[in-house]
Amino acid sequence: MKIIAGNWKMNGTRAALDEMITALGNVDTKNRMILCVPFTMLRPVNGAVKIGAQDISSHDHGAYTGEISGGMLTDAGASYVIVGHSERRAYHNESNADVCAKATAALQAGLVPIICVGETMDEKNADRTMEIIEHGVRESVPQSGGDVIVAYEPRWAIGAGLTPSDDEIASAHTLIANTLADMGRGGTPVLYGASVKGNNAAQIMAIDHVDGVLVGGASLKPDDFIPIITSVK
């Protein structure tokens, strides 16, 4: 069983989500399907597809105009939330400490945080990939609390049609799995994300310690997303 999570970013409509949920409802799979959608599209969904958000406030209520708390996300029907996505880190200056606070808030609200870590192109070129990943995990993943998911997303590859080599993905995922074990979180699922498509998903998910994928662009249309889900048993 793999975890296949879609990240719709700031795309889609409620009608498009209805269509996607109906289409995924007809897919014969044991894989766990998650759709992380904009706040306005969150709603309770019965069935195989689980719904997630893409951000969360680290506060639980109060004078934080424009913020959305974990309790609000669960009330709206979410069971997952992405935290620390590359675009949040880049455009909103989110640090590992910010991400950890958001992941902690998610756990307190009963949500499963999908915690993203990964290196930029500059960090990769400076040979800092492993260091950035290990620090990302140690500093972004809460020490205690319920289940989490970690997503390795090489930031230079997101939306760029680029993919690291299988060996690079294997090294990153092995490091993440070992770091999580050292933190007492052995067995935490580790997803790979960045430019996953129907034609590379099965190969990526065959790599050691790749427990599923986080998919951006190719999660928006059933014709692109379903082949990723059905590419693995």
Query: Mind telling me the catalytic residues?
Result: 85, 153
Residue whose Cβ sits closest to ligand PEP: 216
DSSP for the chain reads: --EEEEE-TT---HHHHHHHHHHHHT----SEEEEE--GGG-----SSEEEEES---SSSSSS-TT---HHHHHHHT-SEEEES-HHHHHHS---HHHHHHHHHHHHHTT-EEEEEE---HHHHHTT-HHHHHHHHHHHHS-SSSS--EEEE--TTTTTTT----HHHHHHHHHHHHHHHHHTT-TT--EEEESS--TTTHHHHHTSTT--EEEESGGGSSHHHHHHHHTT--
| Least Cβ distance, residue 65 to ligand PEP (angstroms) | 26
Contact between 215 and ligand PEP per CB under 6 A: yes
Contact between 231 and ligand PEP per CB under 6 A: no
Candidates 12, 136, 154, 216: give the one binding ligand PEP (CB under 6 A).
216
Contact between 118 and ligand PEP per CB under 6 A: no
| Least Cβ distance, residue 15 to ligand PEP (angstroms) | 22
The site string for ligand PEP over 170-209 (x = CB under 6 A, - otherwise) reads -----------------------xxxx-------------
Contact between 158 and ligand PEP per CB under 6 A: yes
Q: How many amino acids of this chain bind ligand PEP (CB under 6 A)?
A: 13
Contact between 12 and ligand PEP per CB under 6 A: no
Amino acid, single-letter form, for residue 147:
D
Return the number of the residue (106 or 218) whose C-beta is nearest ligand PEP.
Answer: 218
Contact between 54 and ligand PEP per CB under 6 A: no
Q: Residue 38's closest CA among 58, 51, 53?
A: 53
Query: In this chain, which stretch among 123-131, 198-206, 212-220, 225-233 interacts with ligand PEP, using CB under 6 A?
Result: 212-220
| Least Cβ distance, residue 217 to ligand PEP (angstroms) | 4
| Least Cβ distance, residue 220 to ligand PEP (angstroms) | 9
Show Cβ contacts of residue 227 under 8 Å, excluding neighbours closer than 6 positions.
198, 201
Candidates 2, 3, 4, 7: give the one binding ligand PEP (CB under 6 A).
7
Q: Residue 151's closest CA among 186, 189, 122, 204?
A: 189
Contact between 81 and ligand PEP per CB under 6 A: no
Cα(221)–Cα(63) distance, integer angstroms? 37
Return the number of the residue (210 or 218) whose C-beta is nearest ligand PEP.
Answer: 218
Binding site for ligand PEP (CB under 6 A): 7, 153, 158-159, 193-196, 214-218
